[in-house]
C-alpha cells in the first residue's frame, strides 16, 4: 500500500515528484506585474536586502549601547523592541506595569527616553523600524521630535512603524481601543505621514505574529491581506486617494523551516496583493501594487533544548526569506527561546545574514526558483488555500467583523492545537525535543534584565512630572481629547502634547477616556 503523501503546513499534499504535468503559469519578469518573481528587476544583484536586527531591552541607554554595537558590526537598519507597558500604552509607573518594565523591550515613557535611545545615532542616515501598534502614533511622533532636535527635516526620516492593530485582536492582544477607533487612528497616521513624513512606511501589516500564534502559511497570508484590505478601505473612507498612501504600505511575514512552501507563500502573497490593489482598488501607480515586506525568522520554531541547533534553523529560515524575495530581514538569535539574546548571539545572527549575502551565490541571480515545477505548483496551492480563507472573511463582513466574531483567532488556535498534538504524538519531528534528545543539557548563561531598572524608570518619570509645565501639558491633553471626540486628525494635538513632555501613558489615557477599551469575544 502506497504511503500517504506528506502534507504541507497549509494542508495540501506534497507530491513526491513534480514535472511537466504541473506547468508553471506565465510568470512575467522580476519587477513586472503581478510581481510573482519579485518587486525589483534586479533584486539582490544590485544590493542585498536590508539587514535589520530587532533589539531593545531595559533602559533607553542600554538599548542605545546595543544599537551602537550592532551598527559597528554592520547592521544596515535598526528595529526597536518596546517593553510590554509601552506596547499597551502605559507608563512605567502604572500599577499594571509592575514587573514588566524593560523586560521584553525598551521602556519609552517620554521624549526624554526617546532622546536617549537614539543619542549619537544620526536619524537622517539610518532607517528605523519600530515594532509598535496600538500606541504607534505617539512613538512615531516622539521619533520625529528627536529627529527635529537633531536638525533632521521630517521628509528625510526613513523607516517603518508597524501600526497594525488588527492583528493584535487576532493574535497578540496588545490593543488599547476598540477596532473602529483603532482604525481611525491608523488612518490619521496615514494622512499625517503623507503630509509630514513622506518617506516613512506608515504600516507594516503583520502576519508574523499570527504565525507565532500558530497560523499556517495560508492562514498567515490570508488574514494579513484581509487586514490590509481593511486598512485600504479605511483610508479611502477618510478621503485619501489610493495612490497617495498605498506606495507606503508594507508587510511583515515569518520565515519557517519548510523552505519550499515558504518561498511559494511569498510568491503567492505578492501576486495576490498586486491583483487586489489593481483590480479591487483601481491603483494606477505600479508602486501601489507592490507587496513590500520585512521578514523575521520563526521564533516559535526555536527550542530551549540544544539551543545551538537554532543556528541551523535560522539559517534555513533566512534562506527561505531570501529566495522568497524579502526586502529586509531579521535573523533571530539562537538563545531567544531561553531569554533575551546576549550580545554574542545577536552578533552571530547578523553574521548569518552577512555570510549568506557575501559568501554564497544567492545574490548572483534574480529569483532562482522561477520555473521550478515544485515551487510553482506549491505557489498555486498556497494561493488557492489563502483565497478560500479570504472569501470566508469577506462573507463575515470583512476583517473587522470577522475579528469581532472571533473567526481568525479561533482558526489559528485550531491549527496551533493540531500542531502541538502532532508534536506530542511524534508525528512531527522537532530535533532535540521529541527526537535526537540529549540526556543532559549543557548549561547556558542567559541575559538577565536588572530588576532595579523599573525603580530607576519610575524616578525618571517623577522628575519629569515635577519639572515640566503642568498647565501646558493639561491644555495639550485637553486638545487631544477634543480631537478624539471630533473628526480632527489627532496626531497634530498629540505631537503638541508630547513636545510639552506629556508621557505616552498620558496620551493613550486621554484617548482611552474618549474611545474606551476593548475586551475580546470567543464565539467559534
Q: What is the pLDDT of residues 212-259, one digit of tens each?
A: 999 999 999 999 999 999 999 999 998 999 999 999 999 999 999 999
What whole-number distance in Å separates Cα of residue 161 and Cα of residue 129? 6
Q: What pLDDT is recorded for position 448?
A: 81
Q: Are 329 and 295 in contact (CB under 8 A)?
A: yes
Phi and psi angles of residue 209, each rounded to the nearest 5 degrees, phi first? -70, -30
Nearest CA-CA partner of 105 in 126, 135, 76, 84: 84
Q: What pLDDT is recorded for position 2?
A: 56
What whole-number distance in Å separates Cα of residue 320 and Cα of residue 318? 5
- 3-class state of residue 255 by DSSP: strand
- 3-class state of residue 160 by DSSP: strand
Nearest CA-CA partner of 501 in 478, 458, 459, 472: 472
Q: Are 406 and 523 in contact (CB under 8 A)?
A: yes
Q: Are 293 and 415 in contact (CB under 8 A)?
A: no
- 3-class state of residue 127 by DSSP: strand
| Most distant CA atoms of the chain, gap in Å | 81
Q: Count other C-beta atoms under 10 Å from residue 71's C-beta.
A: 16
Nearest CA-CA partner of 31 in 386, 295, 292: 292
What whole-number distance in Å separates Cα of residue 491 and Cα of residue 198? 15
What whole-number distance in Å separates Cα of residue 219 and Cα of residue 382? 9
Q: What pLDDT is recorded for position 213?
A: 96
From first to last of its 524 residues, the chain has per-residue pLDDT tens of: 556 778 999 999 998 888 877 666 668 899 999 999 999 999 999 999 999 887 788 899 999 999 999 889 888 788 899 999 999 999 999 999 999 999 989 999 999 999 999 999 999 998 999 999 999 999 999 999 999 999 999 999 999 999 999 999 999 899 999 999 999 999 999 999 999 999 999 999 999 999 999 999 999 999 999 999 999 999 999 899 999 999 999 999 999 999 999 999 999 999 999 999 999 999 999 999 999 999 999 999 999 999 999 999 999 999 999 999 999 999 999 999 998 888 899 999 999 999 999 999 999 999 999 999 999 999 999 999 999 999 999 999 999 999 999 999 999 999 999 999 999 999 999 999 999 999 888 888 877 888 899 999 999 999 999 999 999 999 999 999 999 999 999 999 999 999 999 999 999 999 999 999 987 766 54
Nearest CA-CA partner of 350 in 95, 141, 66: 66
Nearest CA-CA partner of 39 in 24, 28, 50, 26: 28
Residues 6+ apart with CB under 8 A from 445: none
Q: What pLDDT is recorded for position 157?
A: 97
For 68-75, the CB contacts below 8 A with 24+ separation are 68/120, 68/121, 69/343, 69/347, 70/346, 70/347, 70/350, 71/121, 71/126, 73/347, 73/350, 73/351, 74/350, 74/354, 75/51, 75/350
Nearest CA-CA partner of 267 in 320, 333, 318, 340: 320
Q: What pLDDT is recorded for position 523?
A: 56
Residue 125 has which C-alpha cell?
542616515
Over residues 480-489, the pLDDT tens digits come to 999 999 999 9
Phi and psi angles of residue 254, each rounded to the nearest 5 degrees, phi first? -90, 160
- 3-class state of residue 251 by DSSP: strand
| Helices 504-515, 136-149: inter-axial angle, 10-degree rounding | 140
**Which residue has cell 479591487?**
280
- 3-class state of residue 82 by DSSP: strand
Q: Are 449 and 102 in contact (CB under 8 A)?
A: yes
- List beta partners, residue 231: none
Q: Sheet holding 293-297: strands in order across?
A: 200-201, 158-161, 127-131, 77-81, 50-55, 328-330, 293-297, 249-255, 203-206
Q: C-alpha distances in angstroms, 305 versus 67, 334, 482?
A: 28, 11, 53
Q: Which helix (H) or strand (E) holds 169?
A: none
Q: What pLDDT is recorded for position 77?
A: 80
Amino acid at each position: 500500500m502506497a504511503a500517504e503523501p506528506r502534507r504541507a503546513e497549509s494542508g495540501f499534499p506534497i507530491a513526491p515528484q513534480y514535472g511537466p504535468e504541473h506547468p508553471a503559469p506565465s510568470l512575467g519578469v522580476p519587477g513586472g506585474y503581478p510581481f510573482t518573481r519579485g518587486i525589483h528587476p534586479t533584486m539582490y544583484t544590485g544590493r542585498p536586502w536590508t539587514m535589520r536586527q530587532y533589539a531593545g531591552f531595559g533602559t533607553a541607554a542600554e538599548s542605545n549601547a546595543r544599537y551602537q554595537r550592532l551598527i559597528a558590526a554592520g547592521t544596515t537598519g535598526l528595529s526597536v523592541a518596546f517593553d510590554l507597558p509601552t506596547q499597551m500604552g502605559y507608563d512605567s509607573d502604572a500599577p499594571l506595569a509592575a514587573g514588566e518594565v524593560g523586560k521584553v523591550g525598551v521602556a519609552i515613557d517620554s521624549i526624554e527616553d526617546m532622546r536617549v535611545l537614539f543619542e549619537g545615532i544620526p536619524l537622517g542616515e539610518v532607517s528605523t523600524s519600530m515594532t509598535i501598534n496600538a500606541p504607534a502614533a505617539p512613538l512615531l511622533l516622539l521619533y520625529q521630535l528627536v529627529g527635529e532636535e537633531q536638525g533632521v527635516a521630517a521628509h528625510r526620516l526613513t523607516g517603518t512603524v508597524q501600526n497594525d492593530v488588527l492583528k493584535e485582536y487576532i493574535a497578540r492582544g496588545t490593543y488599547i481601543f476598540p477596532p473602529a477607533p483603532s482604525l481611525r487612528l491608523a488612518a490619521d497616521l496615514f494622512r499625517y505621514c503623507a503630509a509630514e513624513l513622506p518617506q516613512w512606511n506608515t504600516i507594516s501589516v503583520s502576519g508574523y505574529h499570527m504565525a507565532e500564534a500558530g497560523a499556517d502559511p495560508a492562514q498567515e497570508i490570508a488574514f494579513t491581506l484581509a487586514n490590509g484590505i481593511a486598512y485600504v478601505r479605511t483610508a479611502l473612507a477618510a478621503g485619501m486617494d489610493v495612490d497617495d498612501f498605498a506606495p507606503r504600505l508594507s508587510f511583515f511575514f515569518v520565515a519557517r523551516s519548510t523552505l519550499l512552501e515558504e518561498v511559494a507563500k511569498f510568491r503567492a502573497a505578492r501576486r495576490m496583493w498586486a491583483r487586489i490593489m489593481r483590480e479591487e482598488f483601481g491603483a494606477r501607480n505600479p508602486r501601489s501594487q507592490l507587496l513590500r515586506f520585512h521578514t523575521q525568522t520563526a521564533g516559535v520554531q526555536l527550542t530551549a533544548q540544544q539551543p545551538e541547533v537554532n543556528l541551523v534553523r535560522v539559517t534555513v529560515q533566512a534562506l527561505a526569506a531570501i529566495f522568497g524575495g524579502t526586502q529586509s530581514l531579521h535573523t533571530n538569535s539562537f538563545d531567544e527561546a531561553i531569554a533575551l539574546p546576549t550580545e554574542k548571539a545577536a552578533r552571530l545572527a547578523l553574521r548569518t545574514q552577512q555570510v549568506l549575502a557575501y559568501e554564497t551565490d544567492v545574490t548572483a541571480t534574480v529569483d532562482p526558483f522561477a520555473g521550478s515545477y515544485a515551487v510553482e505548483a506549491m505557489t498555486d496551492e498556497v494561493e488557492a488555500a489563502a483565497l478560500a480563507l479570504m472569501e470566508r472573511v469577506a462573507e463575515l463582513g470583512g476583517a473587522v467583523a470577522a475579528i469581532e466574531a472571533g473567526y481568525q483567532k479561533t482558526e489559528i488556535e485550531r491549527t496551533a492545537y493540531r500542531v502541538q498534538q502532532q508534536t506530542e504524538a511524534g508525528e512531527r519531528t522537532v530535533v532535540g525535543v521529541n527526537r535526537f534528545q540529549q540526556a543532559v543539557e549543557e548549561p547556558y548563561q542567559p541575559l538577565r534584565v536588572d530588576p532595579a531598572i523599573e525603580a530607576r524608570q519610575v524616578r525618571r518619570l517623577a522628575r519629569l512630572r515635577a519639572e515640566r509645565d503642568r498647565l501646558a501639558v493639561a491644555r495639550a491633553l485637553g486638545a487631544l481629547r477634543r480631537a478624539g471626540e471630533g473628526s480632527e486628525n489627532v496626531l497634530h494635538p498629540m505631537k503638541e502634547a508630547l513636545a510639552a513632555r506629556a508621557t505616552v501613558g498620558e496620551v493613550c489615557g486621554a484617548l482611552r477616556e474618549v474611545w474606551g477599551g476593548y475586551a475580546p469575544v470567543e464565539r467559534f
